[in-house]
Structures are given as structure tokens and as C-alpha cells.
Amino acid sequence: MLQLAPQLEDIHERLAGVVIENLSWRLFIKRYDRPGTLFYLDPQYWANEDDYGRAVFSREDFAEMADVLGRIKGRFILSLNAVEGVFETFSNFRIEEVDCSYSVQGQG
């Protein structure tokens, strides 16, 4: 336990003032949007809307998200797969494609 104490102190200091929320993305943005805020959004991938449960996130939610993000006071980073529907829905924003390797299934 003595070896763990310094780490716990560091963790406590780092998390002081942190608020953990359980809100929809819509309510979260509405509550915390202000100049200087940076939102990171990582919704289900396009064409995989039911991956986290049926009707949790729909194709229409992408269009709503694009609309909401177009009106925020802060800034955002949005992670999505690079498919035509994403490029069309978020065409009003700067899109940067990033090569990446997926290791979700433990295959490397």
C-alpha cells in the first residue's frame, strides 16, 4: 500500500474538479458549450449505427450532429469512418483523413 500512496495522491490531484456526466451528446454540448471548449465526439461509425444497441444512434443523428456542431461556440474533433455519407453530411467542416490500424478484436 505504501507504494501505491504516491500514485493515488497524483490521481486525486489530477481528478480534483473533474465532473463525470451521463448525458446524451445533445445535452452535453448544450450544457458545456462556450468559447474555449473543445468537444471530442466519437459516435458509432456510419453504417454501424446499431453496434452499441438498437436505436441508440441513428443515421438521422449524424445530420443533427452536423447541424448542432455548426452552431457551437466552442470547437470540436469528430472521429468517424471515411465513407461517402460522412463526407456529404459533414461537408461544411474541414475533414482530415488519418490512416489508422484497428485492434479492437485483438488481431494486432
Strands, E assignment, the chain: 38-41, 75-78
Amino acid 32: pLDDT: 95
Give the three cell numbers for residue 44: 458509432
Amino acid 107: pLDDT: 56
**Other CB atoms closer than 10 Å to residue 14's CB: what's the count?**
9
Q: How many Å apart are CA 30 and CA 8, to the nearest integer?
A: 33
At residue 46, φ and ψ (nearest 5 deg) are: -55, 135
Amino acid 26: pLDDT: 95
Domain map (residue ranges) of the chain:
38-96
Percent of the chain surpassing pLDDT 70: 93
Residue-averaged pLDDT of the chain: 89
